[in-house]
């Protein structure tokens, strides 16, 4: 009935119930709504935390492949190792503190290679 924007008195009159009964039911409904809202927020935080954890794991694994690839330049392998170490540190921090920190990855210098035309 809240959707109809009715005042409490109008609802009581429409339902033809005792005002004390109405307010008792209303209080129960408000508590239930608050409980459900809190549960949804906790589930949402857990989902975001799990998603972030997976992203860090993926970043670590991709960087590991780059670092272990003999065809990759030494500079790129070193950058990949830095990212691996940062991902590990962020995973540890996420496990220890939850989503209470600002995640950061190291600055990666991308160098464009130009082939010389001779």
Tens of pLDDT, residues 32-84: 888 887 777 777 878 888 888 899 999 999 999 999 999 999 999 999 999 99
Q: What is the total count of domains within the chain? A: 1
* Per-residue confidence (pLDDT) for residue 110, from 0 to 100: 56
- What Cα–Cα distance (Å) separates residue 50 from each residue in 5, 43, 92, 103, 107? 39, 10, 13, 14, 24
Give a yes or no: residue 6 inside a domain.
Answer: yes
Residue at 102 is within a domain: no
Instruction: Express each pLDDT in 48-57 by its tens digit.
Output: 888 888 999 9
Give the confidence band of 113 by pLDDT, cuts at 50, 70, 90. low
pTM over 0.75? The answer is no
105 within a domain of the structure (yes/no)? no
Would you say residue 26 lies in a domain? Answer: yes
- What is the domain extent for residue 22? 2-97
| 107, part of any domain | no
109: in domain: no
13 domain-assigned: yes
- 116 in any annotated domain: no
């Amino acid at each position: 009935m809240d959707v109809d924007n009715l005042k409490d008195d109008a609802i009581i009159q429409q339902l033809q119930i005792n005002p004390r009964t109405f307010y008792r039911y209303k209080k129960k409904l408000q508590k239930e709504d608050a409980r459900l809202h809190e549960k949804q927020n906790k589930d949402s935080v857990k989902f975001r935390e799990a998603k972030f954890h997976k992203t860090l794991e993926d970043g670590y694994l991709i960087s590991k492949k780059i670092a272990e690839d003999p065809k990759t330049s030494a500079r790129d392998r070193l950058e990949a190792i830095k990212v691996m170490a940062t991902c590990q540190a962020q995973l540890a921090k996420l496990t220890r503190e939850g989503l209470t920190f600002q995640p950061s990855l190291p600055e990666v210098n991308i160098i464009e290679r130009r082939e010389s035309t001779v």
